[in-house]
Amino acid sequence: MSENEWQPKIVAFLCNWCSYGGADLAGIGRLQYPPYIRVIRVPCSGRMSPKFILGAFRRGADGVWVSGCHPGDCHYIEGNFYARRKFALLKNLLEHMGIEPGRLHFSWISSAESTKFARVATEVCEAVRALGPAKKFIKDLPEVA
Amino acid sequence: MLKYADKIRQEARDLLQSGEVDVFVGFRKGTIPMMNEPILIRDARDAEKLHWDSNCGINLANYLTKRKERMGVVAVGCHSRNIVTHIVENQISRDQVVVVGVPCEGMLDRRRIHELAGRREILEVLEEESGIVIRSHDFEQRHNKQDVLQENCAICIHRNPVIWDRLVGEAVKEQDGIDRYEDIRAVEAMAPDARWSFFQQLIEPCIRCYACRNACPLCYCPTCFVDESRPQWVGKSIDPVDTLTFHFLRAYHCAGRCTDCGACERACPVGIKVRRFTKKLEKDILELYGWEAGLSLDERPPLDRYRPDDPEEFIK
Amino acid sequence: MAAKVVSKDRLNSVLSHWRKNYRVYAPVQKDRFVQFEEWEDRGEPVWEFQNSRLSPKFLMEPQSEILLEFSLDPRTEDSGILKERERVYPLQIVVGIRPCDAKAVELSKRNFVSQEYTDSYWVRRYETTVFVGLGCNRPCPTCFCTSVGCGPFHEEGLDVLMIDLGDRFLFRSLTGKGRDILAEMDGETPSADDEKLALQIREEGERHIVSRVSWDRIPSQDLMTLFDAGFWEDVAFSCINCGTCTFLCPTCWCFDIQDESKGVRGIRMRNWDSCMFPLFTLHGSGHNPRAEKFQRVRQRFMHKLKYYVDKYGDGVACVGCGRCVQFCPVNIDIREVAEKMNNYVRCECKV
């Protein structure tokens, strides 16, 4: 891959207890997946706010991936249940506004599912790479007088 | 609608005289055609200032939060649903408010009326049984009420108040066979780039005056996300991405709470159809979680609860 | 003073001619309202309109304006230096500005060009602008310009005054700048009939103002008495603290300065701000002297109708354009508030 070829920048919000653990285990197991994700650890997928996801797109993320514990397994019991509802609405609204489906991804990955992590990471990276660089919702210095 | 004015005055007078409420919130007749101004009265003698007609689209529920007194307030269907939402969200308590319910057949859209009048000067707009009369120096026009209703009123399915302590008239027939989401489906049918252009064009005139946010009864946060500075989620300039971010996040914060009262569109000085953001969420909330805002004092709103089998096909 | 008559169907060619040396801003129909935009040789400006939704004050004070910029990129020459944003200030003509909005620009000079300080950004934009005003043949019911030292054909702030004579415009220069642009214009000398008609239209326009506001007693009202008046709570109740009145007002000028940065580059800009916003007077310490809504509402009216009057002895800081009256989402009417202030007598009775 040459230096000038575009590489997707994907921000991955991983919940501390499950998905982050799964990512860590994937690393321990030397599982391979594309190097485009940049991880931000959150205590729980229920902590996610639309401001974070929008903030990532505004700062130039080509894709955003949020991953948490499986419903029923949340470290904080029910955080991911609330998150699930918020995610559904957010994804729908963002895509309604014109963000391409394929830029925003969600998954449930437990701390034992290292292979799933690597697989989903690969899927997400491929999906975003196919769409090319993000062009919408990018906040640059203000376009004003 | 005009026939309710006397009853509203009477109720206000009674409530204030008996001391059942400390203040009463209603409307007084505005200083320009098709506008009325919200007022708060404390004295029963001021009840005669109260007015009612089909230009009472401002959402009075907006004025109830953060007040400690016992309040009487006039409310039509959608506004009463906002009062329910306030109670459910612990902004006011049920026994703090006496709702004077008004069955409503829709409020007038003054922008539409100006357009129909060819943007010529309007001296007055009179309401008749079947419609309205626009009067000016050199012309007069008649229109059916159906043709000059606010857009949200035309598709309203909750015209009668859902919560009330006094009712000023008999319930009106609810509309049926209404398709509330035709315009949303039209956007859903577009390709992503077309949708993006659509929304960019929609908010292009926005001057970030925040009239939409401030007119909305749901927006009562002590510090709005717009004013947060560490970190700053959205810039204060009229940069198009910032403006879109503002409207996106504000709509999202109204998910499952918006009653489509139209106060935002009424307030906007440049006529932006901001309901295009909130209606999408309203549709999703209804389809995904079977919820309509403000209809129940006992149930928790959809983002405050969950079901183990909530839809999740989009989650890997 | 020079004058020319141009028939309406030839007006676009006048604008095209001006466009060779100036940016031309003309009133354009946008969906449901009129706005001043740069006219680019296509599309018809509208000349039959009451007033633009936003005043043309943005030509002197853009809603968002970058003042300074910097880069920390060590490879650039100016790395680490906060410097003025380089821009060109092209000559511009605003055609169709109403006399109220033009007077407002003159009034705004009080803020931007004072003895102690000159706002060079505003001044440069102002000095490169030629104001071609359009007299109001048919003022709106909410216009009260004649009560506040202005009028539908008032000339203050204008370089040229245009009068709509039906199928033609009469242009009259009022300043040297105005004379210069009229000199280049291809038009006829006005006839005696043209002048007579113009006078008639002017008188009719002035007669058409129905809204009158009295503020004659406000200067002699005791300031603290007005400040402590009980009616402010009532006036302020319906206010939703948006920025509609301030942003649409041609005489409002307040702004907030903020930096934004991305990576190693950044800018310092100013954005219109509104005294109606709760954060307007928030101090760094956390104290907010106008934390309550009624304090902010009172401030706006006292500033425009009392403080400004007392300080400068030059009338009120309002030109009677009526936009705040028409577009306030809750129908707070400055005309009513002025009457309240004008007629206020403190009740001395012991109750």
Cβ-based neighbours of B75, under 8 Å, separated by 6 or more: B60, B61, B83, B99, B100, B101, B102, B161, B163, B164
Q: pTM for the whole thing? A: 0.95
Q: How confident is the model at residue C310 (pLDDT cuts 50, 70, 90)?
A: very high
Q: What is the mean predicted confidence (pLDDT) over C7-20? A: 92
Percent of chain A surpassing pLDDT 90: 94
Phi/psi at B198 (5° precision):
-60, -50
Q: Say if A3 falls within a structural domain.
A: no
Residues B134 and B227 in one domain: no
Name the nearest CA neighbour of C56 among C12, C108, C16, C120.
C108
By CB atoms closer than 10 A (0-12, 13-18, 19+), residue C198 is buried
Residues B114 and B96 in one domain: no
Q: Say if A138 falls within a structural domain.
A: no
Residues B22 and B167 in one domain: yes
Residues B222 and B291 in one domain: yes
pLDDT at B274 over 90: yes
Q: Say if A141 falls within a structural domain.
A: no
Q: Which tokens hold the place of C249?
A: 């007002």
How do residues C204-234 score in pLDDT, each as one tens digit? 999 999 999 999 999 999 999 999 999 999 9
Q: Say if A105 falls within a structural domain.
A: yes
Beta strands of chain B (E only): which ranges?
Answer: 23-29, 36-41, 71-75, 97-101, 124-127, 131-135, 140-144, 166-167
CATH number at residue B37: 3.40.50
Residues B283 and B226 in one domain: yes
Strand order across the C64-71 sheet: C83-84, C64-71, C265-272, C255-262
Percent of chain A surpassing pLDDT 70: 98
Q: Which domain holds residue A99?
A: 10-131
Residue C346 pLDDT: 84
Is A87's CB within 8 Å of B314's CB?
Answer: yes
Residues B80 and B204 in one domain: no
Q: What is the mean predicted confidence (pLDDT) over C155-170? A: 96
Compute the distance between CA of residue C341 and CA of residue B38 in angstroms, rounded to an integer: 20
**What is the overall mean pLDDT for chain B?**
95
Query: Residue C147 carries which DSSP code?
Result: G
CB C206 within 8 A of CB C45: no
Chain B contacts of C241, Cβ < 8 Å? 214
Which of B:273-312 have CB within 8 Å of A? Answer: 277, 280-281, 284-285, 288-289, 302-304, 306, 308, 310-312
Residue C349 pLDDT: 67
Residues B142 and B236 in one domain: no
Q: Say if A5 falls within a structural domain.
A: no
Residues B278 and B246 in one domain: yes
Q: Say if B154 falls within a structural domain.
A: no
Q: Which domain holds residue B29?
A: 1-105+159-173
Residues B273 and B314 in one domain: yes
Percent of chain C surpassing pLDDT 70: 99
With CA atoms as reference, the chain C residue closest to A142 would be C260
Q: Say if B153 falls within a structural domain.
A: no
Q: Say if A2 falls within a structural domain.
A: no
Q: What is the mean predicted confidence (pLDDT) over B307-314? A: 95
How do residues B35-74 score in pLDDT, each as one tens digit? 999 999 999 999 999 999 999 999 999 999 989 999 999 9
Compute the distance between CA of residue B137 and CA of residue B123 in angstroms, rounded to an integer: 7
CATH number at residue A23: 3.40.50
Percent of chain C surpassing pLDDT 90: 91
CB B83 within 8 A of CB B75: yes
Q: How confident is the model at residue C124 (pLDDT cuts 50, 70, 90)?
A: very high
**What is the overall mean pLDDT for chain A?**
95
For residue C290, what are the CA distances in angstroms to B78, C257, C286? Answer: 33, 20, 12
Give the count of domains, chain B.
Answer: 3
Q: Say if A86 falls within a structural domain.
A: yes
Give the count of domains, chain A.
Answer: 1
Residues B33 and B166 in one domain: yes
How do residues C274-285 score in pLDDT, each as one tens digit? 999 999 999 999
- Helix spans in B192-237 (H): 192-202, 211-215
Compute the distance between CA of residue C57 and CA of residue C159 in angstroms, rounded to an integer: 16
End-to-end, the C-alpha distance of chain B in Å comes to: 53
How do residues A108-144 score in pLDDT, each as one tens digit? 999 999 999 999 999 999 999 999 999 999 999 998 8
Is A88's CB within 8 Å of B302's CB?
Answer: no
Residues B91 and B139 in one domain: no
Q: Say if B264 falls within a structural domain.
A: yes
Compute the distance between CA of residue B97 and CA of residue B93 in angstroms, rounded to an integer: 7
Residues B28 and B138 in one domain: no
Is B252's CB within 8 Å of A89's CB?
Answer: yes
Residue A143 pLDDT: 85
Residue C350 pLDDT: 63
Query: Residue C171 carries which DSSP code?
Result: E
Contact of C79 with chain A, judged by CB distance below 8 Å, is answered with no
Q: Say if B88 falls within a structural domain.
A: yes
- The structure tokens 């007015």 sit at B51
